[in-house]
Amino acid sequence: MGALAHYLEDEGIPTTQISLIREQTEFIRPPRALWVPFELGRPLGMPENADLQNKVLMSALMLLEAAEGPLLADFPDTDGTPPSAADTESAVWACPINLQAASEGETDSEKLLSAFKREIASLRPWYDLSFERRGRTALGLFKPDTTSNLLASYASGKPTEIPIENLSLAVALRLAAHDLKAFYFEAAIARPGTALPDSAAFNKWFWNETAAGQILKAVKTKCMNEEDKALRMTGAALLVPLGQT
């Protein structure tokens, strides 16, 4: 990020920026930067907290009025904001999915695929409601069914049809994985009686308690054993977060 500021400033465009990783900004020394104490992925702080977002934005913009630099300011660590999710043991958060028992005689991988399909079916009405109410979904490329079918086909070793032209299988699997997580999040928060999870609580649930998390781990393992280099890289780094086993 800081490098882009150097290039823009060199071209005559004044810049200010938000910094999430202070050490990198200290090293790159862009003209003006505001370090914020939020977790990666949340440079403006908290969702649905316009006051906090405005404070962050104004603190960064005010640096444009400084007489000289480089400047690296700190947004207050103790500004009444809740601690970031990764700092604390996340609160207990649950989104139980009531699944029917698996059919008799299924292999472990068949049981997983069945559980995955039942999860999708169970969450779909809540996702649809969420979409209707909010008028927005973060699913970037695929519809929920396309996402789950693509990942389930690949995980089970069936022929995998890439649903969008000119997209490699590696890119399609990676985008489907992100869309699957977005589907689970949007469905989960729409359910009555379900408090809004912080990111750590959501990740804990998704990766440890859902069949979807197990499917993505199976996709990762399969990708890592492919001959195609892009699939191997996708499996190694782009499907499952660091630290999730």
- Site residues for other proteins, 209-228, by CB under 8 A, read none
Nearer to other proteins, 37 or 114 (CB): 37
Q: Select the residue interacting with other proteins from 109, 153, 194, 199 (CB under 8 A).
A: 199
CB 9 within 8 A of CB 31: yes
Answer yes or no whether residue 144 interacts with other proteins by CB under 8 A: no
Where in 93-132 is the site for other proteins (CB under 8 A)? none
Q: How far is the CB of 102 from other proteins (least distance, A)?
A: 29
The span from the CA of 34 to the CA of 50, in Å, is: 18
CA dihedral 93, 198, 155, 112 (to 10 degrees): 0
Q: Select the residue interacting with other proteins from 168, 208, 228, 236 (CB under 8 A).
A: 168
Q: How far is the CB of 55 from other proteins (least distance, A)?
A: 10
In the chain, the N- to C-terminal Cα span, in Å, equals 30
Q: How far is the CB of 7 from other proteins (least distance, A)?
A: 5
CB 189 within 8 A of CB 196: yes
Q: Select the residue interacting with other proteins from 112, 177, 180, 218 (CB under 8 A).
A: 177
Number of residues that bind other proteins (CB under 8 A): 91
Q: How far is the CB of 92 from other proteins (least distance, A)?
A: 17
Nearer to other proteins, 117 or 232 (CB): 232
Answer yes or no whether residue 84 interacts with other proteins by CB under 8 A: yes
Q: Select the residue interacting with other proteins from 73, 102, 129, 189 (CB under 8 A).
A: 189
Nearer to other proteins, 155 or 238 (CB): 238
Q: Which residues are within 8 A (CB) of 39 and not within 5 positions of it... i.e. 6 or more apart?
A: 84, 85, 86, 87, 199
Residue 33 forms beta bridges with which residues?
17, 72
Q: Select the residue interacting with other proteins from 111, 117, 118, 178 (CB under 8 A).
A: 178
Q: How many Cβ atoms from other residues are within 10 Å of residue 166's Cβ?
A: 6
User: DSSP of 118-173, one letter per residue?
Assistant: HHHHHHHHHHHHHHHHHS-----S--HHHHHHHHHHHHTT-----SSTT--HHHHH
The span from the CA of 184 to the CA of 61, in Å, is: 36
